[in-house]
């Protein structure tokens, strides 16, 4: 019998540590001014939401943009770009706290990446603005008069930042989520699309994340569950061993593919590095390769070195389990997908943890019963 339920503890601890605090959707949000909007959209990055009502007759657009700033003293921004998707040319509304701690809204015309930001008049008229901050979320309210009557498809950009200096928003981050916070939306249908710019790279990042989530984040833990609990039952021998090997070898092959795509993405991202995520990935690859080769040196059950081989094998395996879960969540932080994907993965981990906990109880009952009968010693797979 190996050490107590390490797997169970690891799964449940990580699920609780990394559970998102902002697990909501736009349709569930309510505003303190009791304002109700005709449509809303869960924006694909930065955990942001957009609510709006369009009055075609008057060409007015009432919006509420909701997002968590990088820090409590940070800022949020939403913009319409009349020329193209992207920051340059964006007619921007910024919400942040002023020196008195009051929420204010300022307007900026972002004419270039290098220009000094100054509050200015926008392409559209702004009839009224307001902002508030509570529960870790900033909310920006505005009513706009669109100059091009009848135009219902708009380019928009949204962003969050860490701080405000002398009344001016500081630079935002340059994570993938920050760079991909742009797209188009239709005022009438509510259809929203992310910008096509960089879609190929985003797709490869998603493939990298999916491969590693399936391999290190799912198949590898399942393989551990099989090895730890199925071998307790004599009727499962040697089926448990072949199932365990199948899971771990599949995890290794898929994981190596994900690791390789990560290296390729890293080589193409000059100036953008994720040291912790990369180093853990390299460590996982090395340890997994070591485990594969160790399988070839696996002593027989009655060999005098089998005990030491078991210590090595279990120790490396549980170390990989911890590193795998840490790195999957590191990857989620980098990709910053919609909250539902993180929630779905946490749900999978919780299910695996509950299954492992139940099997742990059953395993101990079986082993203790065998010991009490004094007929056979606990089965050693």
Length of the chain: 381
The answer to whether 303 is a known ligand-binding residue is no
Q: How far is residue 162's CA from residue 88's CA, in Å, rounded to a whole number?
A: 20
The 3-state DSSP class for residue 97 equals strand
The answer to whether 244 is a known ligand-binding residue is yes
Taking alpha carbons only, the member of 81, 66, 72, 178 closest to residue 131 is: 66
The 3-state DSSP class for residue 81 equals strand
275-296 vs 306-335: helix crossing angle, rounded to 10: 150
DSSP states of 133-198 = EETTEEEEEEEEE-SSTT--EEEEEEEEES-EETTEEPPPP-SHHHHT-EEEEETTT--EEE-STT
The answer to whether 277 is a known ligand-binding residue is yes
The answer to whether 156 is a known ligand-binding residue is no
Q: How far is residue 266's CA from residue 258's CA, in Å, rounded to a whole number?
A: 12
Taking alpha carbons only, the member of 118, 123, 192, 190 closest to residue 155 is: 192
Q: How far is residue 220's CA from residue 196's CA, in Å, rounded to a whole number?
A: 35
Residue 45 has what DSSP assignment? S
Dihedral sign for Cα 372, 376, 377, 381, please.
negative
CA 266 to mean position of chain CA atoms = 18
CA distances 227 to 54, 157, 364, Å, are 59, 49, 15
Q: Residues annotated as binding site?
A: 208, 244, 277, 313
Q: Residues annotated as binding site for heme b?
A: 208, 244, 277, 313
């Amino acid at each position: 019998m190996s050490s107590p339920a390490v797997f169970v503890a690891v799964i449940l601890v990580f699920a609780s540590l990394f559970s998102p605090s902002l697990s909501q959707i736009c349709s569930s949000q309510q505003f303190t001014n009791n304002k109700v909007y005709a449509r809303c959209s869960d924006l694909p990055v930065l955990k942001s939401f957009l609510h709006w009502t369009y009055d075609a007759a008057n060409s007015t657009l009432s919006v509420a943009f909701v997002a968590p700033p990088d820090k409590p003293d940070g800022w949020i921004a939403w913009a319409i770009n009349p020329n193209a998707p992207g920051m340059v040319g964006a007619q921007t509304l910024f919400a942040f706290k002023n020196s008195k701690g009051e929420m204010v809204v300022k307007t900026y015309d972002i004419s270039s990446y290098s220009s000094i930001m100054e509050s200015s008049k926008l392409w559209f008229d702004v009839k009224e603005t307001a902002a508030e901050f509570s529960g870790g979320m900033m909310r920006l309210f505005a009513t706009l008069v669109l100059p091009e009557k009848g135009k219902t498809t708009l380019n928009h950009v949204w962003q969050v930042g860490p701080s405000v200096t002398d009344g001016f928003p500081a630079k935002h981050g340059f994570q993938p989520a920050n760079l991909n916070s742009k797209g188009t939306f239709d005022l009438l249908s509510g259809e929203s699309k992310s910008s096509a710019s960089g879609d190929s790279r985003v797709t490869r990042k998603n493939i990298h994340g999916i491969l590693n989530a399936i391999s290190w984040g799912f198949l590898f833990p399942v393989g551990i569950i099989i090895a730890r609990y199925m071998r307790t039952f004599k009727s499962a021998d040697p089926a448990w061993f072949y199932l365990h090997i199948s899971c771990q070898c599949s995890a290794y092959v898929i994981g190596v593919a994900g690791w390789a795509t990560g290296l390729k993405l890293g080589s193409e991202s000059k100036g953008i590095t994720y040291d912790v995520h990369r180093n853990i990935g390299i460590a996982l690859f090395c340890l997994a390769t070591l485990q594969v080769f160790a399988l070839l040196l696996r002593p027989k059950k009655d060999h005098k070195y089998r005990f030491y081989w078991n210590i090595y094998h279990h120790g490396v395996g549980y170390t990989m389990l911890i590193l795998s879960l840490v790195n999957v969540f590191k990857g989620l932080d980098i990709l910053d997908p919609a909250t539902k994907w993180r929630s779905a993965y946490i749900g999978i981990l919780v299910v695996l943890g509950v299954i492992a906990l139940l099997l742990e109880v059953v395993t101990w009952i079986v082993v203790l019963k065998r010991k009490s009968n004094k007929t056979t010693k606990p089965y050693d797979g």
